[in-house]
Amino acid sequence: MPELPDLEIITGFLRWSIPGVEIKQVEIKEPLVLRCSAKDLIQDLKGRAFTKVTRRGKFLIFDLAPGEHLVFNLMLSGRLQYCRPGEKSRSYLCLQLGFSNGHQLRYYDRKRMGRIYRVQKGDFSSIPQFELLGPEATDPAVDPEVFQKRIRRHPGMIKNILTNQRFLAGIGNAYADEILFAAGILPFRRRPSLTSEELANLHRALGEVLAWAEKELKGRVGADIHVEVRDFLRIHGKGGQVCPVCGGTISEVTANRRRTNFCRGCQK
């Protein structure tokens, strides 16, 4: 699932690639992912251009003049690809836009869980969970004091809190593992068991991990925004491998189809 660092790179690339470029062709292969009329979307997008591409949490927002948005929630397996028409199409193509500059924007979704919404300017009320999003996880206004104040509203397991989009927007399963590893906190700890010092370490680790990941991805993804790069992560997805810090074995627990990785030696 694309998370904040991935989506920042995707947004950054598309921000300078497609605004102002006329949409010449609209092809819908899988209407199931649409939360709007396929017929109307095909008719209304042709001849228009996106004016801006932004992000809110895990949502990608494509602005259309004079006052509309096309909003993508990629969910678990949604991917966007920007390429030339001659490039071989991948499986599970759901939507394809052709631009006047000779490029295409393709949306693939293996599980067809992602959703595409069309909404009027500034009105995101029809998009589930959108208006309940907390501050961005990278928002400078979420300083240590604000972080501790917000997190004390949540009494549950610390990993679940980090992935709760009402707490902070943008963090998912993979980066929650990385943040907790960097903070030295087991993912199964409940928030009331954490000291003020541990919460301060968690806030620090959150900022450091997300900045590090975005920098790493910026140097590796380039135009291949459809490729998920996770091999540089230190612990997530590496159950059974050697911990890069203590040399112990990285543990893995799977519950509700969600994989959690941690180090029993480094995380207390």
Q: Look up 3 and say whether it is catalytic.
A: yes
Catalytic residue among 3, 8, 68, 136: 3
Compute the distance between CA of residue 204 and CA of residue 215 in angstroms, rounded to an integer: 17
Identify the three-state secondary structure at position 116: strand
> H/E element holding 23?
strand 23-28
Residue with tokens 């009331």: 192
Residue with tokens 């006329």: 22
Compute the distance between CA of residue 36 and CA of residue 135 in angstroms, rounded to an integer: 27
> H/E element holding 196?
helix 196-218
Q: Look up 258 and say whether it is catalytic.
A: yes
Q: Put residue 157 in one of left, alpha, beta given phi > 0 → left and psi -120 to 50 → alpha.
A: beta
Catalytic residue among 55, 58, 118, 238: 58
Which tokens hold the place of 240? 């059974």
Catalytic residue among 29, 56, 110, 258: 258
Compute the distance between CA of residue 238 and CA of residue 157 in angstroms, rounded to an integer: 22
Catalytic residue among 2, 106, 136, 159: 2
What are the residues facing 56 on neighbouring strands? 59
Q: Look up 58 and say whether it is catalytic.
A: yes
| Bond preceding residue 5 cis, omega within 30 of 0 | no
| CB 80, CB 10: distance < 8 Å | yes
Among candidate residues 48, 75, 43, 76, the one with its CA nearest the CA of residue 62: 48
Cite the active site residues: 2-3, 58, 258
